[in-house]
Structure 1
């Protein structure tokens, strides 16, 4: 689920400001590290088999939604969150 959320944030960010994170950072005065962290995927460490990274909280998702002017329902109303994906 965390990776689907990260992908949704990235897709919406691209729709709103284009491919470059810096365009989003400039337009909405958001820290570049924040948007980068929000879009980070959780990966499995090849050596240990443990997950690396962390997902975002619902509060962060809400903050992102507020920034771009959508609701949480709008955020989660996307095929990426279908159970078959």
Structure 2
């Protein structure tokens, strides 16, 4: 597994934030609402929305971000394209 640079961590966390905002938009404020609507496991949604963090003392990374395949799966669930997923001001900053 490659090391996360600070830039990678920021990008992974933007993806997690985008998943969360779209989950709320398409499935409701609570993760359990999305779970019921799209028949996915709550743990899976929670993992998709989890941030990657670096321990400042040890430098160790927690979290791993989600793959493009998982992002695509999420997009298919809510019926949007990958282009629509990434076409957001969040990724222009």
TM bucket by the smaller chain?
A: over 0.9
Q: TM-score under structure 2 normalisation?
A: 0.85
> For residue 56 of structure 1, what is the aligned residue in structure 2?
66
Q: What are the Cα deviations for residues 31-67 of structure 1, in whole angstroms up to 9, with x where unaligned?
A: 1110000000011224312221111000000000000
Please give the residue correspondences for 1:1-85 in structure 2 after superposition, counting only pairs within 5 Å. 1-82=11-92, 85=93
Segments of structure 2 that go 5 or more residues without pairing to the other structure are 1-10
Query: What SS does the corresponding residue of 1:80 show, helix, strand or coil?
Result: helix
- Distance between the aligned counterparts of 1:11 and 1:60, measured in 2? 16
How many residues are aligned here?
83
- Distance between the aligned counterparts of 1:48 and 1:10, measured in 2? 29
Q: TM-score under structure 1 normalisation?
A: 0.93
Deviates further, 41-50 or 18-27: 41-50
| RMSD over aligned Cα atoms | 0.9
Segments of structure 1 that go 5 or more residues without pairing to the other structure are none
